[in-house]
A and B are shown apart, each in its own frame.
Chain A
Amino acid sequence: MDEERWMEDELDAALGGIVAPPSLSPAVMRRVNRPRMTRLPEILDSIGGIAVLVAVLLALSPFAPSVDPSAAYAGLAVAFTSLILWHGWRSLRALNG
């Protein structure tokens, strides 16, 4: 019986009265009041970038007669799209901190 009492007292002493640290509430309020981030500008940037590159490729296409046009376009498109997506991914990472 004494041991049970001792056990209860020990648990009360170790665990009773735990309260949230004073830093919790201000930290939550800081996070809640932080302006909400949006990914829309980054997405629009990527779409715009791809559109510009497509336009440039179309404009340059008459000056590359010796290359198989479909393969050249596909290669260039993949290269530039990859570049833009990589750039967009870096932006998103920076945006998310």
Chain B
Amino acid sequence: MSTVATDQQQFAQILGEYQDRVFRLCCAMLGDRALAEEAAQEAFVRIWKALPGFRGESTLSTWIYSIARNACLTARKSKAFERGLSLELPGVRFAAERARAEAPDRSIDILRYVAELPPHYREVILLFHMQEKSYEEVSAMLDLPLGTVKTYLHRARKQLAEALAAGKQPRMTDGGSR
């Protein structure tokens, strides 16, 4: 009985501490708020079920992110995700909706360029900006070496800059002073 209580206490702590990061990871991988929330829920239910068997062979965060990534991969196979993909690319729709809601007059063209990036660059650049620009966090969340994260990010930025320079100039909302 006390083990169950300890597990519940530990799980509540994990949920409080990781919900934002798991949700961001799901957003970057799935791109749709509803799907991301569903996948995050599923990830935490899996964490709850597997928690008694967690032996600390990897760090807690590595273990949690690995479960969250698997939940996202399962969600990607869902019919809802396939329908979503036909409308807009993952990672971007969510951000665009949010940006539009927060500042309707703001240019969000940059997100359209992000949508054109290859999926691995897109996930890295989305997570990097969601995770307060922490290379280490992105590396842990996507299970990529730090050097790979930096390389992907560099290439993503380069491709974005090239796309912008190729004549598809996004609208500058404040005269370019930002």
Contacts and interface: CB of A to CB of B under 8 A. Distances in A.
Interface of A: 2-7, 9-16, 18-21, 23-25, 27-29, 31-32
Contact of A10 (B20, B33, B98, B107): B107
A46 to B, nearest CB: 26
B37 A24 contact: yes
B98 A14 contact: yes
Contact of B95 (A15, A27, A29): A15
16 contacts: A4-B161, A9-B178, A11-B114, A12-B129, A13-B99, A15-B130, A18-B24, A19-B20, A20-B22, A20-B23, A20-B37, A21-B33, A25-B15, A28-B15, A28-B45, A29-B12
B152 interface: no
Contact of B178 (A5, A20, A28): A5
B2 to A, nearest CB: 18
Interface residues of B, number: 42
Contacts of A16: 129-130, 132
Contacts of A21: 23, 33, 37
A29 to B, nearest CB: 8
Shortest 5 CB-CB distances between A and B: which pairs? A20-B23, A15-B129, A10-B110, A20-B19, A14-B99
A40 B126 CA distance: 45
Contacts of B81: none
A4 B41 CA distance: 36
Interface in B146-173: 157, 160-161, 164-165, 170, 172
